[in-house]
Amino acid sequence: MAENVLYQCVRCGKQAPLSEWQRIDVPGQFKCPSCGYKVAKKIRGPLAKRLSTK
């Protein structure tokens, strides 16, 4: 998984990489590093579409 992918907390809006969301001391734990909420959405970068012309 790429480290440059950001996740945004649905409650407080904090954006952080996955490494900050996962806790090392508790495997499988996924919480917001700011407020502790367990729901996040993945922030996707702008998509570039390449079209070929004929």
- For 42, residues 6+ apart whose C-beta sits below 8 A from its C-beta are 5, 6, 7, 8
- Which is more confidently placed, 46 or 20? 20
Is the Cβ–Cβ distance between 33 and 14 less than 8 Å?
Answer: yes
- Which is more confidently placed, 26 or 7? 7
Tens of pLDDT, residues 24-45: 777 788 999 999 999 999 998 7
Whether the pLDDT of residue 52 is over 60: the answer is yes
User: pTM, whole model, 2 decimals?
Assistant: 0.71
In this prediction, residue 2 has a pLDDT band, given cuts at 50, 70 and 90, of low
